């Protein structure tokens, strides 16, 4: 069975839901993972922020506006009075529930319940639509099988056992529908896989049922070889290896959530990135095979802080790097890039919440310099040590851009450079011109 995930824009209106239905109904059995309609999760975050501040008027205003939008979509989605009534009942049920939080204490637990309503509504609406069309469709609640453990990591055994048992009990349907993003935590409470987490849901499900393929449907035709917002004439990359895709997703390619790649890679399940606006387009196929001798794509990750620690004590010493890394670990701050020399080490972080404390602690070991507003530019492809000439092309392209750090060798498919935010667009454009034109 294939697992198909449709993002918020793909199910963003009654019209778009109808297009998704046309796309998936070909007689082949499928499992669909749906996001909330576009904009919904942001509105639910806004409602929660009002409720934290005990501003129920503010919350009610957003709730009513959102409910109105849903009522309009329901009227457009269904043809029969029977299903219009069912759709409106579904909307009332969820919105009455959301409204019930305006009179009570509001904590992070209630917030997670509120945030889960978007996916519950979109999947409920879509399932009703398929039933109205006479499709043999089955709604399977993610809250009954999707679960994270105490470290907020997916509990893959629980997911596999519970999902297979639900599917065993509900055999013979053409379409199974479930919610992306939402899950339960180790205590059984409603939780989620973080913003944009529906891709992760699809990949975890694909891994749990050993799907033939995981398809991520969005509104662009696959992962592009550079950022189309800044560079003209970018092209979709037809094939990527799992490792290349993971690097690109982590380093800025917005089309795929970075967590999505690992479960697919571990179980060797191909992931296809497809476009609902152009369903026949090839898109991007992510698989275990590695295209030889080519640079696949360039991505950029913004809001990076670089920290340089210089110390005479590092000279010929051992244990220095461990002490430095332990400081980052103690503030739960991941490091992205690292470069070292005999007298210093530079690292980058993208979460600068504990920056001041980290810098204070690092000062015990040497002088510390901090550069904010940096960007990691990541060039991804078949860059094994035996391939010649790529480094030359990359640095030729960047000859007019000041470079703060360079990293190669951590993997054989990635060269990363750190530049000032103001030089990002120039760097992306010159790299595209040199590497792809
Ligand atoms: N609805 C969630 C969000 O907007 C999850 C998703 O769409 O992937 O973040």
- Domain annotation for the chain: domains and CATH numbers: 2-219 (3.40.1160.10), 296-435 (3.30.2130.10)
Q: Work out which ligand 1 atom sits closest to the CA atom of 42.
A: 4
Beta strands at 182-184 and 190-192: parallel, antiparallel or unpaired: antiparallel
Q: How far, in Å, is the centroid of ligand 1 from the Cα of 353?
A: 23
- Please count the CA atoms within 13 angstroms of the CA of 67 that sit on its side-chain side: 19
Using DSSP's 3-state secondary structure scheme, residue 375 falls into strand
Does the CB atom of residue 198 touch ligand 1 within 6 A?
Answer: yes
Per-position pLDDT tens, the chain of length 437:
999 999 999 999 999 999 999 999 999 999 999 999 999 999 999 999 999 999 999 999 999 999 999 999 999 999 999 999 999 999 999 999 999 999 889 999 999 999 999 999 999 999 999 999 999 999 999 999 999 999 999 999 999 999 999 999 999 999 999 999 999 999 999 999 999 999 999 999 999 999 999 999 998 889 999 999 999 999 999 999 999 999 998 887 778 888 889 999 999 999 999 999 999 999 999 999 988 888 999 999 999 999 999 987 666 677 888 889 999 999 999 999 999 888 889 999 999 999 999 999 999 888 999 999 999 999 999 887 777 788 889 999 999 999 999 998 888 889 999 999 999 999 999 999 999 98
C-alpha of residue 121 to centroid of ligand 1, in Å: 13
**Pairwise CA distance, residues 420 & 304, whole Å:** 9
Q: State whether the beta carbon of 305 lies less than 6 angstroms from ligand 1.
A: no
Sign of CA dihedral 221, 227, 231, 236: negative
For every residue of 43-98, DSSP letters joined together read HHHHHHHHHHTT-HHHHHHHHHHHHHHHHHHHHHH--SHHHHHHHHHHHHHHHHHH
41 lines ligand 1 (CB under 6 A): yes
Q: Residue 357 contacts by C-beta under 8 Å, 6 or more apart in sequence?
A: 331
How far is it between the farthest Cα atoms of the chain? 80
Beta bridge partners of 213: 2
In terms of C-beta density within 10 A (0-12 exposed, 13-18 middle, 19 or more buried), how is residue 230 classed? middle
Beta carbon of 35 within 6 Å of any ligand 1 atom: yes
3 state DSSP class of 42: helix
Ligand 1: centre distance to CA 90 (Å): 20
Q: Are the C-beta atoms of residues 193 and 183 closer than 8 Å to each other?
A: yes
pTM: 0.90
């Amino acid at each position: 069975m294939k697992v198909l995930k449709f993002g918020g824009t793909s199910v963003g209106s009654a019209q778009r839901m109808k297009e998704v239905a046309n796309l998936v109904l070909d007689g082949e059995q499928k499992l669909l993972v749906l996001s909330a309609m576009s904009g919904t999760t942001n509105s639910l975050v806004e409602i929660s922020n009002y409720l934290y501040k005990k501003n129920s008027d503010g919350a009610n205003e957003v709730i009513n506006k959102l409910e109105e939008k849903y009522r309009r979509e329901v009227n457009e989605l269904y043809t029969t009075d029977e299903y219009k009534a069912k759709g409106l009942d579904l909307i009332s049920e969820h919105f009455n529930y959301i409204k019930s939080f305006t009179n009570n204490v509001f904590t992070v637990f209630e917030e997670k319940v509120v945030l889960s309503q978007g996916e519950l509504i979109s999947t409920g609406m879509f399932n009703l639509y398929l039933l109205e069309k006479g499709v043999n469709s089955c709604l399977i609640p993610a809250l009954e099988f999707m679960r994270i453990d105490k470290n907020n990591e997916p509990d893959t055994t629980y997911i596999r056992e519970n999902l297979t048992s639900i599917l065993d009990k509900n055999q013979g349907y053409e379409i199974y529908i479930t919610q992306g993003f939402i899950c339960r935590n180790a205590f059984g409470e409603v939780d989620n896989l973080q913003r944009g987490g529906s891709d992760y849901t699809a990949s975890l499900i694909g891994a749990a049922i050993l799907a033939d393929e995981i398809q991520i449907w969005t509104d662009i035709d696959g992962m592009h070889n550079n950022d189309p917002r800044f560079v003209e004439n970018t092209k979709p990359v037809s094939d990527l290896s799992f490792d290349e895709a993971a690097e690109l997703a982590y380093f800025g390619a917005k089309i795929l959530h970075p967590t999505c790649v690992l479960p697919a890679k571990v179980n060797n399940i191909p992931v296809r990135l497809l476009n609902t606006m152009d369903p026949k387009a090839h898109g991007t196929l992510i698989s275990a095979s590695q295209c030889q001798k080519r640079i696949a794509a360039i991505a950029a990750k913004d809001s990076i802080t670089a920290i340089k620690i210089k110390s005479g004590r590092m000279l010929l010493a051992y244990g220095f790097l461990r002490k430095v890394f332990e400081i980052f670990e103690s503030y739960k701050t991941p490091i992205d890039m690292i470069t070292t020399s005999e007298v210093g080490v530079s690292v980058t972080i993208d979460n600068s919440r504990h920056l001041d404390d980290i810098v204070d602690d690092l000062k015990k070991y040497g002088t510390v310099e901090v550069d904010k507003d940096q960007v990691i530019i990541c060039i991804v492809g078949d860059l094994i040590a035996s391939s010649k000439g790529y480094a030359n092309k990359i640095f030729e392209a960047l000859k007019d851009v000041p470079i703060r750090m360079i990293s190669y060798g951590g993997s054989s498919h990635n060269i990363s450079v750190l530049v000032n935010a103001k030089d990002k667009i120039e760097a992306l454009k010159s790299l595209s011109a040199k590497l792809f034109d």
